Structure 1
Amino acid sequence: MNTAREILEGAFGTIPSLIRLHAVERPDAVALAMDGASMTYRRLNREMDRVAAGLQRDGIRPGEAVAIVSATSIPYAVAFLGILRAGAAAAPLAPSSTPESLAAMIGDCGARIVFVDADNAAALEGQPIGARVIRLDDSAAPRWADWLPVQDTAPAPVEIGPDDPFNIIYSSGTTGTPKGIVQPHRMRWAHVARNAAAGFDTAVTMIATPLYSNTTLVSFFPTLAWGGTAVLMGKFDARAFLESAERWRATHAMLVPVQYSRIMADPEFDRFDLTSFRLKTCTSAPFSAALKADVVARWPGLLVEYYGMTEGGGTCALVCNQFPDKLHTVGRPVEGHDIRLIDDDGKEVPQGEMGEVVGRSPAMMSGYHGRKDATDEAAWFDAEGNRFIRHGDVGRFDADGFLTLLDRKKDLIISGGFNIYPSDLEAVLAQHPAVADCSVIGVPSEAWGETPVGFYVPRDATSAADILAATNARLGKTQRLSGLHPIDQLPRSAIGKVLKRELRDRLKETA
């Protein structure tokens, strides 16, 4: 029998098989921990077997989707991993979705079983989902303990190939109906393999974003694949994160920019012992150069920003500690990843010019579930016929090969024939001392086609009119905001992305 290390050093392996080996090689090591509870690799392996055997008993076939609607918990992690061991594809759904959206996603992926926790069970009541609902707790029937087969029940062995579906991740729906992104085992293995030098075999990783998010999973699965400890958190709280990280002597963390901002703003940040940290990563939303610099200066260990997408494509990485003069960029393409920039006609642009980002790598989705049209629309092919995935961003490479993102292509505002990038306006607006947070959207205009409008979270009582005047004084004539609106807080997804669609809806409601 191969050892876990031999599989990790090979061309392909599966995460369920690695956990089975860890259960033999390091049975008493803690695999999962949360709120004072923990689970060793020995027990995790047994519980995964029970979940897989239960799914097989209920007729779930390899490749079939099984959905999860729940807040982060140890049973959630066990269910996800057990689904994989059965050869099925996990479909982790965002509990923040509307009941109608949840029903639509369950129907889209064809799940016949849905695991749900007590807090989210009500969302599915009365919805025509056509699936059996199983509780992840013992608060109501069918209880988790009753559904699971008896202890030490082994599932039938399942052969899992590189192209078999691992999970279906639904897009956040920030721009419309969520699409199911099918990620194969090959793609998840690429995430594991690229962390060979990241020290995950001795990692204690803080998992502070939801388990339904790809942002979380690119850190969660490598931790378990390499035999480390995943410390799960529920609702994010900066002080609770710092306390838990210090208590567990955490070595790794994947956080989104808004979480870094809240942690660094904690008035007692500097009293916590974070010297155990070796690697902190960030992705999913714009990460300001100033915030990166603050993390590098005050928080031990490397800070690496990753730029990529759930669909795959190409990934850039910026080791912030090593390139302090490149903090305004998202780094350079990682080894084995090909990122190019194209114009509106699909032709590559010369170095130094801006264009739409397209990428290709070993970590790419199979496609959008049941959406061949959307899958085809997301693809770009080079002259040799290689498939790339459109990232939807506009960027520019500098002379050193570092990529600067200018904005989302869909967020580009064309006003009076001029291209306006909201991120440029947000950068100026954010510098006003009375602005705690901000976002800019484009709205229809009879005179200009579109015009930029800003939203901001006030830091003090300065009027919106005064902030607008001061901001516009620093912007070019074609960039000026036509309106500015205070808001208690910007609507954000669970991983920190501003939901600009909700801002547009807010304007329509007040029109």
Structure 2
Amino acid sequence: MSMYTRACAGRAVRMAAATARRRAMSTAAAAAARTTVDEGYVPQEWQQRILGTEGLSIRTGPMEPALFTGTIPDHFASVVSRHGDRPAVIARSPTPNAHESTLTYHALDLVSNRLASSLSSIGVRKGDRVAVSLGNSAEFAALTYALFKLGAVLVPLNPTFNAQQVTAALSHLNAEVLIIGAVTDLAYRPGRGRSNKQLLETIVGDLQRSRIQSETVPSLKRVVVLDNRASHPDVNFPLDQFAALSSYETLLEGSDRTVKPDAPLDPADTINIQFTSGTTSAPKAAQLSHTAILNNGAFIADRMGLDPSDRIVVPPPLFHCFGSVLGYMATATTGAAILFPSPAFDPVATIRMAADTDATGLYGVSTMLVSIFEALDEGSLNLPVPQHLQKGIVAGSSVPESLMRTIYKRLGLQDLVICYGMTETAPVSCMTRPSDPFEQRTSSVGTPMPHTTVKIVDPLDHTRVLPLGERGELAASGYLVMKGYFGDPERTAQVRRTESDGRTWMYSGDEAEMDADGFVQITGRIKDLIIRGGENIHPLEVENCLFQLPGVQEVSVAGVPDERLGEAVAAFVIPRHGWTTADAQQEGDEAARRLSKDRVRDWVRTNLSSHLVPKYVFWVDDYPKTASGKIQKFKLQEMAKKMLADEA
């Protein structure tokens, strides 16, 4: 990687900023300014200096809209006063007891008051960490604001976590309250679920005892269970027999009046702890503030053009930032409606809700959109095609250009945008606009968000900002940066650092490049880079090529050990429905509907170059994924090693 002039340019930028600060401020004022910068405000003088670093990959987003300086409950109260009669949340439960719940903003305010009152009466206080393990539902939506009003910290857990994972999360956070469904709905399997009786017995012990005395989680004092058994009549969980468990329904008996928290709320308070997806390591508990998630949601809504008339279908889970911030916080800051088609992702339910409600927008990760198209192509389902979709977001992983074009063409999402971010930045730092040229909306993740600075640096020397067009590690700074990983200062220090310019930066581990207009392109994970015989191979380049091959539904590329070259390229291919696979070329009509490993290799050789051709091609039915839908490539590498060892 070329390093010409980078060190000098980087030093010049830092020295200029330092000189300006010394001349303009006293020591005390400088300290105050650093605090302000960390909260997201970028002085115009600094912004001009940053934007004036011609040729370097560093850009600051616009200063408008202004940052909201209050708390989430403050902002929510203003939305309720303006849009109280509008629908805030519309949620459906799965068959056989299909049911639709609607909460207006006024109703959401009242229900969250009742929940907050009841939670306060059982001892929930400001700063307490409350774990919520529920699918997308009106109940989860109301609980979110109830906890925010108390200043308690919402800790959303993946409902599919097993007892060991839930225990680890609760223990790490010293959580005293767990709110969980009687049944966990399963993605792609409507009406099918997992009883949580055994999970709770493992964590709590004797459920018939009147008080909780958990040996595995000593801090746990209360378990509240949402009775969602009506959608799962085959599940055996006799809730009325277990004195240790409290009922969610009893929480609704609280007062309608606004609850005053036991201590004043501060916008800088931690209000949400999100467990990271864990594509390369164990999940970490990122602490996010009112300021971070409130403004991020509002800026997302502004950039994509949301307004109170919008009805946005959001299948991504609320336990992830995609559902909770890009979805719920974006709609709730504008008076729009968020629509949950099912507690867990169901492509058929998603299509039907979008069509039935005349929805104007749809969110999803790439794998969700692929599943939606498969469902539409299944003629026996006779699904209606939504007619009013225009806005939407695809995020969570790279989006192939071919898929973007299909989304535009088949669903009519002409204002579809791409978001980039990470849990630790609350989460979005870059985003396209509906007005951006189509090429930019399909080949980039857009430009920096308001009050956010993004830079591309040398992965081996973070002080060196790279020239435009060079690939390096993306870092973000501003109001959106997490406060740190809960109880883990060592891993916090590895990725979150306050530098000599007084700004706190979050280093992403993602490889990216920036063009002269500030558009950022994500080229992969730095750890995913394949080094073959000394040459750097970017998996995303090969993946985008293979997505164009007829018969390929999904593809993921990873490096596997190779004795001669160090690493070899391996492609993990999911064939399209109706296609068969063979290891040799076929003749006749069957060849048009058959994939072979040679065909995969020839496609890459023809469209790219020979050194990018996969040495190994594996046919797979699915990928190991995180809860947010990101492919865990380290598990693919483990699969490849095992399969190759079995063949040896």
Indicate whether the TM-score tops 0.5. Answer: yes
Residue 473, structure 1, aligned to residue 588, structure 2: no
TM-score (norm 1): 0.90
Specify the alignment match of 1:202 in structure 2: 309
CA distance in 2, matches of 1:10, 1:415: 46
1:452–1:480 CA contact under 8 A, matched in 2: yes
1:429–1:471 CA contact under 8 A, matched in 2: yes
1:12–1:189 CA contact under 8 A, matched in 2: no
Specify the alignment match of 1:426 in structure 2: 543
CA distance in 2, matches of 1:70, 1:102: 13
> Structure 1 pair 349/383, CA: closer, same or farther in 2 (3 Å)?
farther
For residue 42 of structure 1, the aligned residue among 86, 106, 115 is 106
Structure 1 residue 270, shift from structure 2 partner? 10
Specify the alignment match of 1:328 in structure 2: 443
Between stretches 77-86 and 23-32, larger displacement belongs to 23-32
CA distance in 2, matches of 1:186, 1:106: 25
Instruction: State which structure, 1 or 2, has the greater radius of gyration over its C-alpha atoms.
Output: 2
Structure 1 residue 507, shift from structure 2 partner? 3.1
> Structure 1 pair 391/471, CA: closer, same or farther in 2 (3 Å)?
same
For residue 620 of structure 2, the aligned residue among 487, 490, 495 is 487
CA distance in 2, matches of 1:273, 1:395: 35
Structure 1 residue 425, shift from structure 2 partner? 2.0
1:284-309 CA-to-partner distances (Å, cap 9, x unmatched) read: 11111122223334515411111121
Residue 217, structure 1, aligned to residue 335, structure 2: no
2:68–2:291 CA contact under 8 A, matched in 1: no
Residue 462, structure 1, aligned to residue 550, structure 2: no
Structure 1 residue 187, shift from structure 2 partner? 0.2
Matched ranges for 1:342-357 at <5 A: 342-343=457-458, 344-346=460-462, 347-357=464-474
Matched ranges for 1:339-418 at <5 A: 339-343=454-458, 344-346=460-462, 347-380=464-497, 383-418=500-535
> Structure 1 pair 314/78, CA: closer, same or farther in 2 (3 Å)?
closer
TM-score (norm 2): 0.72
1:217-263 CA-to-partner distances (Å, cap 9, x unmatched) read: 22211212332222112233334323212322223332222223333
CA distance in 1, matches of 2:642, 2:166: 25
> Structure 1 pair 270/382, CA: closer, same or farther in 2 (3 Å)?
farther
Give the aligned residue type for 1:309.
M
Between stretches 426-435 and 207-216, larger displacement belongs to 426-435
For residue 14 of structure 1, the aligned residue among 71, 89, 102 is 71
1:292–1:320 CA contact under 8 A, matched in 2: no
> Structure 1 pair 11/438, CA: closer, same or farther in 2 (3 Å)?
closer
1:314–1:338 CA contact under 8 A, matched in 2: no
SS at 1:125 equivalent: helix
Give the aligned residue type for 2:398.
P
> Structure 1 pair 428/295, CA: closer, same or farther in 2 (3 Å)?
closer
1:118-138 CA-to-partner distances (Å, cap 9, x unmatched) read: 124233431323323210227
Structure 1 residue 62, shift from structure 2 partner? 0.8
**More helix, by proportion:** 2
SS at 1:190 equivalent: helix
2:126–2:150 CA contact under 8 A, matched in 1: yes
Structure 1 residue 70, shift from structure 2 partner? 1.8
Structure 1 residue 402, shift from structure 2 partner? 1.9
Specify the alignment match of 1:31 in structure 2: 88
Between stretches 191-200 and 361-370, larger displacement belongs to 191-200
Structure 1 residue 25, shift from structure 2 partner? 4.9
Residue 179, structure 1, aligned to residue 288, structure 2: no
Structure 1 residue 374, shift from structure 2 partner? 1.4
Give the aligned residue type for 1:156.
K
Residue 286, structure 1, aligned to residue 398, structure 2: yes
For residue 125 of structure 1, the aligned residue among 191, 201, 205 is 201
CA distance in 2, matches of 1:371, 1:295: 41
> Structure 1 pair 398/10, CA: closer, same or farther in 2 (3 Å)?
closer
Specify the alignment match of 1:226 in structure 2: 334
Instruction: Give the % identical residues.
Output: 26
Superposition RMSD on alpha carbons, in Å?
2.6
CA distance in 1, matches of 2:413, 2:559: 40
SS at 1:102 equivalent: helix
Residue ranges of structure 2 left out of the alignment (5+ in a row)? 1-64, 93-99, 185-195, 204-215, 230-238, 240-244, 584-596
Between stretches 62-71 and 461-470, larger displacement belongs to 461-470
> Structure 1 pair 161/201, CA: closer, same or farther in 2 (3 Å)?
farther
Specify the alignment match of 1:452 in structure 2: 569
Residue ranges of structure 1 left out of the alignment (5+ in a row)? 1-7
CA distance in 2, matches of 1:329, 1:271: 32
Between stretches 418-427 and 241-250, larger displacement belongs to 241-250
Specify the alignment match of 1:257 in structure 2: 366
1:314–1:339 CA contact under 8 A, matched in 2: no
SS at 1:13 equivalent: coil
Specify the alignment match of 1:136 in structure 2: 226
SS at 1:201 equivalent: coil
Structure 1 residue 453, shift from structure 2 partner? 1.8
CA distance in 2, matches of 1:79, 1:11: 23
CA distance in 2, matches of 1:11, 1:399: 30
2:286–2:424 CA contact under 8 A, matched in 1: yes
CA distance in 2, matches of 1:366, 1:25: 32
Aligned residues: 503
1:19–1:41 CA contact under 8 A, matched in 2: no
CA distance in 1, matches of 2:532, 2:228: 56
SS at 2:479 equivalent: coil
1:415-449 CA-to-partner distances (Å, cap 9, x unmatched) read: 22221211122223333323221111222333333
Structure 1 residue 468, shift from structure 2 partner? 4.7
> Structure 1 pair 30/472, CA: closer, same or farther in 2 (3 Å)?
closer
Residue 102, structure 1, aligned to residue 169, structure 2: no
For residue 433 of structure 2, the aligned residue among 319, 335, 344 is 319
Between stretches 480-489 and 124-133, larger displacement belongs to 124-133
Give the aligned residue type for 1:260.
L
